[in-house]
Amino acid sequence: MTLIAVLAGDGIGPEVTAEARRILEAVRPGLDYQEAPVGGAGYLASGHPLPEATLDLAKRSDAVLFGAIGDPRFEKLERALRPEAALLSLRSELGLFANIRPATIFPALASESTLKPEVVDGLDIVIVRELTGDVYFGEKGQRTNAAGLREGHDLMRYDESEIRRIATVGFEMAKRRKGKLCSVDKANVLETSQVWRDVVTSMAADYPDVTLTHMYVDNAAMQMVRAPTQFDVIVTGNLFGDILSDQASMCAGSIGMLPSASLRAWSGDTGMYEPIHGSAPDIAGQGKANPCAAILSAAMLVRHSLDDEASAQRIEAAVAAALDTGARTADLGGNLSTREMGDVVMRALV
Ligand code: NAI
Ligand code: MG
């Protein structure tokens, strides 16, 4: 029996995850689902954002369908008890070092991007973001310094093996796509980036079909809005990838459109699938959230963890067809509720 752990989280997480699950049940009947609280919901249920039973379920499952976390009621708690701590722990406990974030534009949305249609037309990028290292996991702390001033620090570090395994995902991905890999770093000022660039460069000879380029992250941010279609696959560290993928989402029309997969192996292994957006407290509980990012994350789940490309494409085609009918949630200028948008996608399944 294939077990799907459903960790809907808090904020809009449960709203969008319900729609993703509904589509998944329709496309792949017979999967076993188990729900568990995480984030703010975990804290409310058991006093910890990642209850032991939730982590245990995630470890036992064939795939995790994740919503979002970040209930602002708990943001003043100590770091380990804040909702976001659960996400970092899940990623590292499950060894999910590779975060795959495709940013594609659905034809129906090309004229609705905040960028000009000719700039985003044909957008098809995959951002491969390292997920278990960098400043998010480096040594961190706060103290009062000698001058009596409060200071904080977060150590950026990567070793060669961490870089090699994420770059391998980038090269393999590029090999299967348009053969272009852009490694994004800040090698002009950061030692971490220098190691990063050297390791990635040393791997290029093993991938003769892939053209490797390097770009500084500040330039990459500029290029992402100037001419985003120049990119095929981008491989980068945790922090840069976090920022660039939110930016890429606007090239695709809305942050409510972008799914992601967090993996520890290329395919056929467990993974965690979630929209790139957060818990959106400003619209939570109002039925306004766009469920497409969550639904498209379910498609990635089917593709990577269940090795079922046909069903993945079926879900993606249904989202495209739903958008073709003009169906839109508020983030895309429409007035459909989360549920109604899910209904349209459901009807568009063929
Ligand atoms: P956010 O992604 O939650 O929201 C940013 C903006 O986009 C808001 O205006 C929101 O309404 C809108 N938005 C996001 N998803 C949407 C959707 N599906 N449909 C329509 N509009 C949508 O980022 P923000 O506000 O910076 O963070 C809120 C909380 O979420 C914080 O506690 C943050 O730490 C957490 N967070 C959690 C993530 C996760 O669970 N993976 C990722 C990013 C942030
Ligand atoms: Mg982010």
| Atom 30, ligand 1: residue with shortest CA distance | 278
Here the tokens at position 328 are 């839109």
Contact (Cβ atoms closer than 8 angstroms) between residue 136 and residue 99: no
The pLDDT value recorded for residue 285 is: 97
The owner of tokens 């330039």 is 219
Q: Which atom of ligand 1 is nearest to the CA of 16?
A: 18
Q: Is the pLDDT of residue 266 over 80?
A: no
| Atom 38, ligand 1: residue with shortest CA distance | 278
Contact (Cβ atoms closer than 8 angstroms) between residue 132 and residue 148: no
Question: Please, what is the average pLDDT of the chain?
Answer: 96
Cα 346 versus chain centre, distance: 23
Q: Which atom of ligand 1 is nearest to the CA of 290?
A: 19
Q: Is 179 annotated as a binding residue?
A: no
The pLDDT value recorded for residue 166 is: 97
Compute, in angstroms, the gap from residue 147 CA to the centroid of ligand 2: 34
Q: Is the pLDDT of residue 13 over 90?
A: yes
Assess whether the C-beta atom of 278 lies below 6 angstroms from ligand 1: yes
Assess whether the C-beta atom of 87 lies below 6 angstroms from ligand 1: yes
d(CA 292, CA 29) in angstroms, rounded, equals 20
Q: Is the pLDDT of residue 268 over 80?
A: no
Q: CB count, 10 Å around CB of 304? A: 24
Question: Considering the chain, what percentage of its residues have pLDDT values greater than 90?
Answer: 92
Contact (Cβ atoms closer than 8 angstroms) between residue 244 and residue 217: yes
For 46, 127, 257, the CA distances from 52, given in Å and listed in that order, are 9, 31, 31
Q: Is the pLDDT of residue 189 over 90?
A: yes
The predicted complex's ipTM stands at: 0.97
Residue 113: pLDDT band by 50, 70, 90 thresholds? Answer: confident
Helix (H) or strand (E) holding 54: helix 52-60
Assess whether the C-beta atom of 283 lies below 6 angstroms from ligand 1: yes
Ranges of beta strands (E only) in 210-250 are: 211-216, 233-236
Ligand 1 pocket test: which of 75, 81, 279 has the largest number of ligand atoms within 8 Å of its C-beta?
A: 279
Assess whether the C-beta atom of 237 lies below 6 angstroms from ligand 1: no
Helix (H) or strand (E) holding 129: strand 124-130
**Phi, psi torsion values for 76, nearest 5 degrees:** -90, -5
The pLDDT value recorded for residue 253 is: 87
- How is the beta sheet containing 3-9 ordered, strand by strand? 32-35, 3-9, 63-68, 271-275, 259-263, 98-104, 124-130, 233-236, 180-185, 211-216
Here the tokens at position 265 are 């192996």
DSSP states of 147-182: TS-EEEEE-----HHHHHHHHHHHHHHHHHTTSEEE
3-state secondary structure at position 92: helix
The pLDDT value recorded for residue 231 is: 98
Q: Which ligand is nearest to the CA of 240?
A: 2
Q: CATH for 95-348, among 1.25.40.80, 3.30.365.10, 1.10.10.10, 3.40.718.10?
A: 3.40.718.10
Assess whether the C-beta atom of 279 lies below 6 angstroms from ligand 1: yes
In the chain, the amino acid numbered 117 is P
3-state secondary structure at position 140: strand
Q: Is 218 annotated as a binding residue?
A: yes
Residue 111: pLDDT band by 50, 70, 90 thresholds? Answer: confident
Tell me the torsion sign for CA atoms 244, 250, 251, 253.
positive
Q: Which of 49-63, 97-111, 147-161 has the lowest mean pLDDT?
A: 97-111
Q: Which residues are catalytic?
A: 136, 186, 218, 242, 246
**Phi, psi torsion values for 142, nearest 5 degrees:** -130, 150
d(CA 33, CA 312) in angstroms, rounded, equals 18
Q: Which atom of ligand 1 is nearest to the CA of 293?
A: 18
Compute, in angstroms, the gap from residue 242 CA to the centroid of ligand 2: 5
13-30 mean pLDDT: 98
215-228 mean pLDDT: 97
d(CA 253, CA 126) in angstroms, rounded, equals 16
Residue 249: pLDDT band by 50, 70, 90 thresholds? Answer: confident
Compute, in angstroms, the gap from residue 174 CA to the centroid of ligand 1: 29
Angular region, 122: left φ>0, alpha ψ -120 to 50, beta rest: left
Tens digits of per-residue pLDDT, 270-304? 899 999 999 999 999 999 999 999 999 999 999 99
117-142 mean pLDDT: 95
Residue 74: pLDDT band by 50, 70, 90 thresholds? Answer: very high
Instruction: Spell out the domain ranges in the chain.
Output: 95-348
Q: Is the pLDDT of residue 17 over 90?
A: yes
pTM of the model: 0.92
Residue 114: pLDDT band by 50, 70, 90 thresholds? Answer: confident
Compute, in angstroms, the gap from residue 109 CA to the centroid of ligand 2: 22
The pLDDT value recorded for residue 195 is: 98
Q: Which atom of ligand 1 is nearest to the CA of 294?
A: 18
